[in-house]
Structure 1
Amino acid sequence: MYDLGVRRVLVTGTGPLGCVPAELAMRSRNGECSAELQRAASLYNPQLVQLLRSLNSQLGSDVFIAANTQQTRNDFVSNPQAYGFSTSKIACCGQGPYNGLGLCTVASNLCPNRNQYAFWDAFHPTEKANKLIVQNILTGDEKYMYPMNLSTILALDSRT
């Protein structure tokens, strides 16, 4: 990609795999996240940053930027009320336990206000949750972005 002229690539990590409504519906007895899947995500994301750090070092430039979307989503999964959600366990649209089974169809349960839900369907964040993720991509510190956020990148790139 670099040889083709690409100079910035935003790479997102994985989200909280074990806490999505689909996993709660299939694996959880009491609404707890799947420890195995959470561990997999927590191993993957730091390794992604290491890989991108190594690639950037080889290229001598911060071409690859890592977005720790897992951290953002973990924030609102662990404390949904702090972000204006009533729940991070139940999907807005779906079937079965936690609305975590099947696709969002006309036969699905549909929440009355999607802004109160962190997840739209069994896997995907709602529009409001995605806005929180994007806000951290734009302005988040190194907890959320490495080596810099998108606003910093845009400011740097506007000078060249």
Structure 2
Amino acid sequence: MKQIDLFKNYIQRLQGIVGVDQSRRIIDNALVVISAGTNEIYHLGCRYTVVAGLPPVGCLPIQETISFRNPLHRVRFEDKNSDSKDYNQKLSKLLSNLQSQLHRSTILYAGIYTPLIDMVINPKKYGFEHIEKGCCGIGLVEAGPLCNVIIPTCKDPSKFMFWDSIHPTEAAYKFVTTSLLKQFLNHLNLNGWYFS
């Protein structure tokens, strides 16, 4: 729930800068992205929310490392990817039902699975040379804080799909963002959002 506390802190700071009425207008029209769960964000005034689905978990370098058996043959784990797809279908349905109960809000499902699995299947299409390991360290086990000035990183992260053993690189996120904007464009334009 730390994110909720941080958001409450942001609201207070925003009110101090622009006043209560203007801060309410800003938050009412803000697009909030949630990648873990909705928690209690709605009663804080957010009306436009994006909830991200799961990626193809079986393709993450850490998953391959955990289940690694043959050093010459690394594979994607389709059972884990199938679990991600099942979860995403249920999440999308849940959000649709929730949307029908929250008439003043817009809740969008962010389908990140499809663009990411396409990057894994067609890495050259996106300019990636490495999809099996991350840019940081050996790229198979490092995550988050372990990627620092002490741990070596690759020379060109744009050639890697993953930054560490779990998280995509900035280059991968750019492709995901483009895909999501295409998903949302028509819906958001109808509600007064415009992208250029």
Same fold flag (TM > 0.5): yes
Query: In structure 2, which of residues 83, 86, 110 is the aligned counterpart of residue 67 of structure 1?
Result: 110
Matches within 5 A, 1:80-99: 80-95=123-138, 99=139
> Deviation at 1:34?
2.1
Identity among equivalent positions (%) equals 31
Structural RMSD (CA): 2.1
* Alpha-carbon distance in 1 for matches of 2:192, 2:106: 15
Equivalent residues, number:
147
User: Could you say which residue in structure 2 is the equivalent of 1:152?
Assistant: 186
* Alpha-carbon distance in 1 for matches of 2:81, 2:150: 30
> Deviation at 1:42?
1.2
Query: In structure 2, which of residues 145, 148, 156 is the aligned counterpart of residue 113 of structure 1?
Result: 156
- Amino acid of the residue matched to residue 87 of structure 1? H
Instruction: Please identify the structure whose Cα radius of gyration is greater.
Output: 2
> Deviation at 1:117?
0.6
Q: Moved runs in structure 1, 4+ residues, more than 6 A?
A: none
Query: In structure 1, which of residues 108, 123, 129 is the aligned counterpart of residue 172 of structure 2?
Result: 129
User: Could you say which residue in structure 2 is the equivalent of 1:41?
Assistant: 84
Structure 1 runs not aligned, ≥5 long: 141-148
- Amino acid of the residue matched to residue 50 of structure 2? L
Select the structure with the greater relative contact order (CA < 8 A; seq sep ≥ 6).
1
* Structure 1, 120-129 or 28-37: larger mean CA deviation: 28-37
Q: TM-score, normalised on structure 1?
A: 0.81
* Alpha-carbon distance in 2 for matches of 1:109, 1:33: 26
Structure 2 runs not aligned, ≥5 long: 1-40
